Structure 1
Amino acid sequence: MKKILVTGSNGYIGNALVLALLNRKKEFTVRAAARRGSILNSKSFETVRLGSLEESPDYVEAFKGCDVLIHCASRGSMRGHEGWLDEAALHRINVLGTVHMAREAHRAGISRFIFLSSLQVNGPETPAGKRFYADSLPRPKSPIGKALLEAEKELIRVGEETGMEIVIVRPPLIYGPDCQNLFGEVKIMVDYCLPLPLRSCKRNHRSLVGIDNLVDFLICCATHPDAANETFLVSDGEDLSTLNIFKLLAKTHHRPCLLWPFPPILVRLFNSYIGRQAWEEFFFQSQVADIHKAQLVLGWTPPLSVEQSFRRSWDENFYLGSHTSSK
């Protein structure tokens, strides 16, 4: 039976991962680690409190006895608990902090370190008809993407020096119940039946990953022997245009899809004027991840379809860990 340690366990991904692992008690024991806030229901599993990634504390005692560490605590956005982060802070948290944690994991006897990175490492967009591959040359443009790429390189170096297995996972935009990101903003638009000038946004394609599919893949990476020292892209396996995202969200929430045609150039100018670069990218650009490597190397397929994941994302009472992960 493997003992898996999950960092960032009071975050959106870490929370769901811990709950999913608890549903497989015959296969795993769980140790949940977090820096602040409450850590789920601590009566059900071991919990440890970690110091800040920026302070390089001693983690050995907290990590001892675990076989695999799944690191979900790195910073995936420019915004922190106390405001916007500069590039120096992103480097301290995502690079220096992550590398220190990996070295402490090795000292504690952990054999596999799984790093949750981001598709932003590959780049902000894919040209029409193209896609990102796990082994594509990374071309990050955002400060976060650059910091995560540097963290990946340093982790690989740690693995080569210590013999600890390093697994890197790059997801695209993650969504699910109560997600607090761009997808959550789109859900609000659909929920309130807002009429939007986006019917012409049908030529782009975007990969997404539902929280259940992502958690299932992370568990697969924790157990599959062939995941060692590999980099993987993960998604739902079906890429959607902006128009189809809105249509499917409306369908799964029993709402009308009130999109009307409007010249895309004017929408883009409006987004630029109000400073919503994230909307500009999501509505008009493509970002497609190829997951064939995950399918071929690990034999993994997304357990939930896109429509199933979209439908679950509307369920406010949905228990994130209730889906039994694929074996």
Structure 2
Amino acid sequence: MHILVTGAGGYLGRALSQHLLAHGHRVRAALRRPTPASTPLPEGMEPVIVGDIGPATDWRLALEGIDAVIHLASPADQSGLDEASLRRITVEGAIALARAASDAGIGRFVQVSSAKVMGEETPPGRSFDDSDMPAPATPYARYKLEAEETVLAALPSATILRPPLVYGPGAGGNFARLLRLALIPLPLPVASIDNRRAMLYVGNMVDAIRRCLETHPVSGGQRFLLNDAEELSLAQLIGRLRISAGRRPLLVPGPAGLLRLALGPEAGRRLVGSFSVDASRFSATLSWCHPFDMEQALLRTVQANTLNGL
């Protein structure tokens, strides 16, 4: 297939493009601007400059000769955007692309949303699943849900994927901060934090996206939560990260407030609370198995980030 990937210059976009190329697909990378020489695109990708993504983006050239579209483009940092700008990119940009794809006769379309459309936390012993009513609690999550609705209205054959936190070699954001904390060679007071946090290894994420394209139309018109095959508590996660780095866990009981102090109130709250996801319907519907278990995923992540001097 000849596949258009938006957001191809970002963390997930680069990993996805390399994965698709490795599986024999052609990849056209939709970019806002040319990539700098210091961070070239993976070899074999065909760049096309589309400018800022929004309601006025002209997608005709980018979609010429394309068989499938994967829409990843999304503001990586929402802190500097007002809500109007966030909605213009997230919602109006998605609907413009979906309509252009429909006009071009392209039925294979994957819209990458977020598990956050379901809410911010799950109570103990409870997981979000695909049958739950979404309850977005932030502007970003609300606009992600609105984008889902508008894309499916314009292109009913589209597939919506709702991943949780995506991690892996080179991941930034909250996971990078957590990894730096985990690798401090001191005891950490997290042994008593018995929550559940959904995460998705980047290698599993890109394989799931490819599976949607290759099993279309089975995946078409549906919304799926995604998750790794195993969920860990914060204490288990930090312990396994340390073991992956060849260290002892060194976890001791302590108040959750210390973690909030170390990571900041918002990141600390998210890591201490539970966010559990049941993604079994995706695997059952598409006959898909995770190519990486969590032990492999964490080991690859720690090794790569250690080599990069984290």
Per the normalisation by structure 2, the TM-score is 0.91
Kept in 2, the 8 Å contact 1:124–1:141? The answer is yes
Q: Is the 8 A contact 2:2 2:26 kept in 1?
A: yes
- Within 5 Å, give how 1:277-288 maps onto structure 2: 277-282=266-271, 284-288=272-276
How do residues 90-129 of structure 1 correspond to structure 2 at under 5 angstroms?
Answer: 90-129=86-125
Does the Cα contact within 8 Å between 2:2 and 2:68 map onto a contact in 1?
A: yes
Alpha carbons 1:6, 1:32 under 8 Å: kept: yes
Q: What is the rounded CA distance, in whole Å, between the counterparts of 1:5 and 1:212 in structure 2?
A: 19
Is 1:150 the equivalent of 2:146? yes
Which residue identity lines up with residue 86 of structure 1 in the other structure? Answer: D
CA shift for structure 1 position 303: 0.8
Cα deviations across residues 38-88 of structure 1 (Å, max 9, x unaligned)? 274475232211111136221111111111100111235424xxxx11222
Q: Match for residue 12 of structure 1?
A: 11
**Superposed structure 1 runs of 4+ greater than 6 Å apart:** none
Q: 1:69 is aligned with what amino acid?
A: V
Aligned residues: 302
- CA offset at residue 293 of structure 1? 0.8
Q: 2:199 aligns with which of 208, 220, 231?
A: 208
Q: Write out per-residue CA displacement over residues 125-170 of structure 1, whole angstroms, 9 at most, x where no aligned residue.
A: 111111111231001111111110111111111124xxxx210000
Q: How does 1:181-196 map to 2 (within 5 A)?
A: 181-196=173-188
Structure 1: 5+ residue stretches without partners: 319-327
Could you tell me which residue of structure 2 aligns to residue 321 of structure 1? none
Query: Which of the residues 29, 33, 39 maps onto 2:30?
Result: 33
Q: Pick the aligned partner of 1:236 from 192, 215, 228.
A: 228
Q: Which residue pairs with 2:301 in the alignment? A: 313
Indicate how the Cα distance of structure 1 residues 55 and 166 shifts in structure 2: closer, same or farther if over 3 A, else same: closer
Contact 1:76-1:144 at 8 Å conserved across structures: no
What displacement does 1:199 show?
1.7
Quick one: distance in 2 between partners of 1:61 and 1:21?
Answer: 21
Give, in angstroms, the shift of residue 258 of structure 1.
3.3
Match of 2:288 among 300, 322, 326: 300
- Aligned-partner SS, 1:146: helix
Paired residue type of 1:193: P
Equivalent pair of 2:191/2:235 in contact (CA under 8 Å): yes
For 1:281 and 1:44, locate their aligned partners in 2 and report how far apart those are by CA, in whole Å.
38
Q: Is the partner of 1:139 in helix, strand or coil?
A: coil
Aligned partner of 1:133 among 105, 129, 133: 129
Q: What percent of counterpart residues are identical? A: 35
- Opposite residue 213 of structure 1, the aligned amino acid is N
What SS does the corresponding residue of 1:315 show, helix, strand or coil? helix
CA RMSD of aligned residues (A): 2.0
